[in-house]
Amino acid sequence: MQFLANSPSLILLPSSNPKISTNSYLFPHIKATNHIFPCFSTKITNTQFNYSLRAPRSSIKSCNYYSYKSINLGFYGTENHTPSKKFRVYCVNSVKMGFGFDGVDRKKVGIEDRLRAVMNVDKTVERESGEGKERENYDAIVIGSGIGGLVAATQLAVKGAKVLVLEKYVIPGGSSGFYEKAGYTFDVGSSVMFGFSDKGNLNLITQALAAVGCKMEVIPDPTTVHFHLPNNLSVRVHREYSDFIAELTTRFPHEKDGILKFYGKCWKIFNALNSLELKSLEEPIYLFGQFFQKPLECLTLAYYLPQNAGAIARKYIKDPQLLSFIDAECFIVSTVNAMQTPMINASMVLCDRHFGGINYPVGGVGKIAKSLAQGLVDHGSNILYKANVKNIILEHGKAVGVRLSDGSEYYARTIISNATRWDTFGKLLKAEHLPKEEEDFQKLYVKAPSFLSIHMGVKAEVLPPDTDCHHFVLESDWKNLEEPYGSIFLSIPTILDSSLAPSGHHILHIFTTSSIDDWQGLSPSDYNKKKELIADEIISRLEKKLFPGLKSSILFKEVGSPKTHRRFLARDSGTYGPMPRSVPKGLLGMPFNTTAVDGLYCVGDSCFPGQGVIAVAFSGIMCAHRVAADIGIEKSSPALDAALLGLLRWFRTLA
């Protein structure tokens, strides 16, 4: 432990029982009862925290900071460890320290990293500026901890890479985060979770969690969504495909054949997708391997790649109202109508809801990101909160690091941005760096509007018995589908998980599309008045359509505007994600993860295949695979890489 001699250090002393043995997994090099190991260069700003320090094979359960100087660690009771023994950890010296130690192997650096893990989601810990100036310590830095960023980071970590995630906010998850107020646990965004079953190859959320040793308890949703549409058209999307088809064909008996053919095509594509092992489509050894093993399935996907759901629906269906229903089916997952929704994406969501079903995580959607962040740390990588990346540092045209708003810099072999492409190439890189590929992306895709969202707690009795968890409401005119405030999304997650609200109460999360332009230039009081006014109108509409007495049942209400989304999710204009400027060629124009800047990758919803939690999880899996190949921890062939990347670039110009 020579390297410790001159380092700022923490001393770990058993507080009461001198015979207690240190966890040999978490601190493998520590054998004695008085322990010294490197200090993580943080300042603890709060005095009383409750940490969760769960390394996979560690028995440490909790870590409480009782004062600036001492920490108590509690232990799980396993065969090796007595429960609730305590160590006192003294912060001997809080001098800043960079990453990496000369002559120290990765395992030891990993120990320091795990200590950094105490900067867990429930705490406020500030970094000191100027730290971390050592070069190339990380294999990858991920900017942002949305599901896209976290999946990329965890996939890389389990492959053995050393990753640092830098998150601007105080918890992970971005749009899939959570917040707690007045006894309620609110999902920041939607509560409809695709890809969260235990079946097939497309359960990407389940797989991402399993990769880091997590399995979450879920509650099956019997109805994906209950549509309340013009002309009193009411359609429930039942979990069982046959029940859904029976309901839809009851509403449109004359279109039974068309309905079966359209949804049948979706199944053909879904089954092809579900037969593949999903990895980076930018990695030739994998891609050619899949073509070799599953030629028919790959050709099916290649055939449908440039097509949209609306055009295919029109081949089989003539009834305008049914076509509008399919528009609504697409709109709720893509914020655009069926003519603009890629057929592969439509197939994915229209079938997964019946194949694996929609499943809600016990404790709320926010637990997915929390578990991934914990899994990342358990695998020896890091996540820092309140770490606002201001710039990507380029050297000789290569992305080599990032600079934070406090001036500190971090360096890595690769940089992965989970910020939107508009933020990545408009803010994190200077405008003069906008590459041709990004110009092309911005010609094809625009920022989808943001949302006005209302989080409410209501008296449980206002909901009729058998109320479904998810609703989509478009009252009178199909033309309003894509208009701002035209349609209303409603999630009531407490229908599935009552633990999210105080007993006898329900959560209503109401959201509707809204553009940030509508909210600019208002004084603070006008801004607040406008939020209340629009929220009141939306609630009145729901009261009239679904829940009489809704207004008088409200116990808690908080309204977020597009500005709120911009502020808390760090998304340009608070956008929900990219949407095609006109009718796209399916997914053909959507960029993958590599960018024109050497060493810089993007992940998240401005990458293939676009918006959606499962979509960004796929983008994370693809990104990790491509990065792993580029840094030499997965197989790659530079000659084939150049050929495939060139070919894909050319394909995109056809979009």
Ligand X SMILES: NC(=O)c1ccc[n+]([C@@H]2O[C@H](COP(=O)([O-])OP(=O)(O)OC[C@H]3O[C@@H](n4cnc5c(N)ncnc54)[C@H](O)[C@@H]3O)[C@@H](O)[C@H]2O)c1
Ligand Y SMILES: CC(C)=CCC/C(C)=C/C=C/C(C)=C/C=C/C(C)=C/C=C/C=C(C)/C=C/C=C(C)/C=C/C=C(\C)CCC=C(C)C
Nearer to ligand X, 91 or 350 (CB): 350
Q: Is 115 in the site for ligand X (CB under 6 A)?
A: no
Distance, in Å, from the CA atom of 385 to the CA atom of 379, rounded to the nearest integer, reads 18
Among 132, 189, 380, 457, binds ligand X (CB under 6 A): 189
User: Environment class of residue 479 by beta-carbon count within 10 Å: exposed (0-12), middle (13-18) or buried (19+)?
Assistant: exposed
**Contacts by 526-535, CB closer than 8 A, 24 or more apart:** 527/561, 527/563, 530/561, 531/452, 531/559, 531/561, 532/559, 534/452, 534/485, 534/559, 535/452, 535/454, 535/559
Shortest Å distance, C-beta 248 to ligand Y: 17
Q: Tell me the DSSP string of 76-95.
A: ---SSS-TT--EEEEE----
Length reported for the chain: 655
| Interaction mask 190-219, ligand Y, x per CB under 6 A | x-x-x-------------------------
Among 74, 110, 132, 149, binds ligand X (CB under 6 A): 149
Judged by CB under 6 A, the chain residues 613 through 632 that form the site for ligand X are 613, 616
Among 87, 445, 472, 556, binds ligand Y (CB under 6 A): 472
Residue nearest to ligand Y (CB): 612
Joined tokens for residue 26: 């978490």
Q: Is 131 in the site for ligand X (CB under 6 A)?
A: no
DSSP state of 178: E
Judged by CB under 6 A, the chain residues 377 through 416 that form the site for ligand X are 387-389
Q: Is 538 in the site for ligand Y (CB under 6 A)?
A: no
Q: Which listed range, 38-46, 169-177, 341-349, 432-440, lies at the site for ligand Y (CB under 6 A)?
A: 341-349
Nearer to ligand X, 310 or 364 (CB): 364
Among 470, 531, 563, 652, binds ligand Y (CB under 6 A): 470
Residue 520: CB atoms within 10 Å: 11
Among 42, 176, 274, 487, binds ligand X (CB under 6 A): 176
| 207 interacts with, out of ligand X, ligand Y, none, CB within 5 to 8 A per kind | none
| 366 interacts with, out of ligand X, ligand Y, none, CB within 5 to 8 A per kind | none
Q: Is 186 in the site for ligand X (CB under 6 A)?
A: no
Judged by CB under 6 A, the chain residues 291 through 320 that form the site for ligand Y are 298, 301-302, 305
User: Quick check: 315 and 259 in contact, CB under 8 A?
Assistant: no
**Contacts by 389-394, CB closer than 8 A, 24 or more apart:** 389/143, 389/166, 389/168, 389/419, 389/428, 390/428, 391/428, 391/429, 392/143, 392/417, 392/424, 392/428, 392/429, 392/597, 392/600, 394/429, 394/433, 394/597
- Which residues sit opposite 511 in a β-bridge? 453, 489
Shortest Å distance, C-beta 632 to ligand Y: 23
Q: Is 283 in the site for ligand X (CB under 6 A)?
A: no
b/e string for 295-314 if b means 16 or more Cβ within 10 A? Answer: eebbebbeebbbbbbbebbb
Q: Is 255 in the site for ligand X (CB under 6 A)?
A: no
Among 345, 374, 381, 494, binds ligand Y (CB under 6 A): 345
Residue nearest to ligand X (CB): 189
User: Quick check: 613 and 193 in contact, CB under 8 A?
Assistant: yes
User: Quick check: 473 and 457 in contact, CB under 8 A?
Assistant: no
Distance of CA 159 to the CA centre of its chain: 20
Q: Which residues bind ligand Y (CB under 6 A)?
A: 190, 192, 194, 225, 273, 276, 278, 281, 287, 290, 298, 301-302, 305, 332-333, 344-345, 348-349, 470, 472, 489-491, 609-612, 614-615, 618, 651
Q: Which residues bind ligand X (CB under 6 A)?
A: 143-149, 166-169, 174-176, 189-190, 387-389, 418-419, 423, 451, 569-571, 576-577, 604-605, 611-613, 616
